[in-house]
Amino acid sequence: MKILAVDTSTASGSIALMNGLSVKAEGILQSNLTHNRLLLKNIHFLLIQAEWTLSQVDAFAVTTGPGSFTGIRIGLTTMKTLAWTMKKPYLGIPSLDALAAPFSFCSLPVCCVIDARKHEIYGALYRPDRAGGGLHRVEDYRVLPPERMAAGIQEPTLFCGDGWLVYRDVFKEILGEKALEAPGPCHVLRAGFVAELARVRFEAGEREDPLSSVPLYVRPSDAELHHPPSHG
């Protein structure tokens, strides 16, 4: 199965083309330009480099959040539109799950954190699955100050994500040697792992209706905070 996967939930946009177990092409770019000015152009560029046409893509996957509200909307709208118009399988993948995916064989808990601005992070804790291998999420996706996230860590834990890069000193001050740092490249959410998570679910027969796929914001938008829905 040929999968086109995209992440626009973080500052580092990422696109990947995966064929079966092989990543055919992958691109990561952190830019001051918004994702809507880069996404379709970079999808087109990667398809050319891989010598694929869009019609050869069998399925589409995209991160649904949490992360940048604007970025999530851009990625979701683009990929939902492609899947719907081409009548191809589609799946949404939570951003934090994709961030955790490179550590599927880690023996330590993994704490994935994405910068949420306003001195908050989006975070989730994952633990090794001793029986089946890989990681499983042990709590809901959360938005909270980094100090509160750190306060819940009781054992040596591996941290990854751009939230770690922003609040590294905070985590280190509170947790000391309990806070273990993933290698630099692991703080970037890679679309290749979005594609891999989607591949496993596609092969298990899972599909989503692109028209009903919704963002996973976790935190209310500023518009919702300033103008809450009226009742009555």
- Tokens representing 208 are 């989503």
CA distance 38 to 35: 5
What would the DSSP string read from start to end of 114-127? EE-STT-EEEEEEE
H helices within 60-145, ranges in order?
69-86, 95-100
Q: What is the reported pLDDT for 221?
A: 57
The DSSP call for residue 35 is G
Q: What is the reported pLDDT for 89?
A: 98
What would the DSSP string read from start to end of 138-187? -S--EEE-HHHHHHT--S-EEEESHHHHHHHHHHHHHHGGGEEEPPGGGG
Question: How does pLDDT run across 5-60, given as a tens digit for each residue?
Answer: 999 999 888 999 999 999 999 999 876 655 667 899 999 999 999 999 999 999 99
Kindly report the pTM of this predicted structure. Answer: 0.92
Element (H, E) at 222: helix 222-226
